[in-house]
Amino acid sequence: MRLNLVLLLVSVLGAGLLTFFLDQDRPLLSSSTEQQQIARPEFQVAPDITFKTLDGKTASLASFQGTPVILHFWASWCAPCVAEFPALLRMAEKNKKKVIILAISTDRSPEKIQNFLKKQATRPPSNMMVIWDEHKILTEDIFQTFKLPETIILDRAGKMIRKEAGQTDWLSPDLETLLDSLSAR
């Protein structure tokens, strides 16, 4: 019995050490430079998706051609998403004529999204559409988003010019400058 326990312990320890040393040459996925490299789609044209908004309207990404679009992937159970949402609403309100925002939620139900939106100080402005991605087809299958929040910015031609995982400073001067340059092109 004691010999079996020792053999089991040595096997587990050996497997752990082997895994540790084999993974030494791999960079950590959580490093910011790795995330930035992964998250740079380098001017790919976004696929034309058709979606239904939370209020029942159907639209397609192609219908916004000529206007910059922000695809923002979020959920009401995601703490960073909740923290940044009021600033996202303020940015959307401030830039009504410059950009369309598609707030794509992976919540479990449209009711959860509605309850979250009711708690906000302001309603989503007219240039912001809230979408429930029930089966995560838009989020995971089409746009390869697996960490929330995540944001993809499209230029007027529908090209993906930026993809960032994590919280965004929606009121930053850099973002304002980017939106100004995209809407002026």
pLDDT digits (tens, 9 = 90+) for 68-90: 999 999 999 999 999 999 999 99
Domain range for 69 is: 41-184
Asked whether residue 140 is domain-assigned, the answer is: yes
Measured distance CA(74)–CA(82) in Å, rounded: 8
Q: Count Cβ atoms below 10 Å from residue 80 Cβ, excluding itself.
A: 14
Task: State residue 37's pLDDT score.
Answer: 38
Left if phi > 0, otherwise alpha if psi is -120 to 50, otherwise beta: which for 66?
Answer: left
Max avg pLDDT among 8-12, 32-36, 83-87: 83-87
What's the CATH number where 137 sits? Answer: 3.40.30.10
Asked whether residue 24 is domain-assigned, the answer is: no
Task: State residue 38's pLDDT score.
Answer: 41
Asked whether residue 28 is domain-assigned, the answer is: no
What tens digit of pLDDT does each residue of 46-65 get?
A: 999 999 999 999 999 999 99
Asked whether residue 27 is domain-assigned, the answer is: no
Question: What average pLDDT does range 110-117 have in this prediction?
Answer: 97
Asked whether residue 104 is domain-assigned, the answer is: yes
Asked whether residue 29 is domain-assigned, the answer is: no
Task: State residue 31's pLDDT score.
Answer: 32
Asked whether residue 20 is domain-assigned, the answer is: no
| pTM (whole model) above 0.85 | no
CA nearest to 48, candidates 142, 184, 181, 151: 142
Measured distance CA(134)–CA(122) in Å, rounded: 25
Measured distance CA(67)–CA(99) in Å, rounded: 6
Asked whether residue 143 is domain-assigned, the answer is: yes
Total of domains in the chain? 1
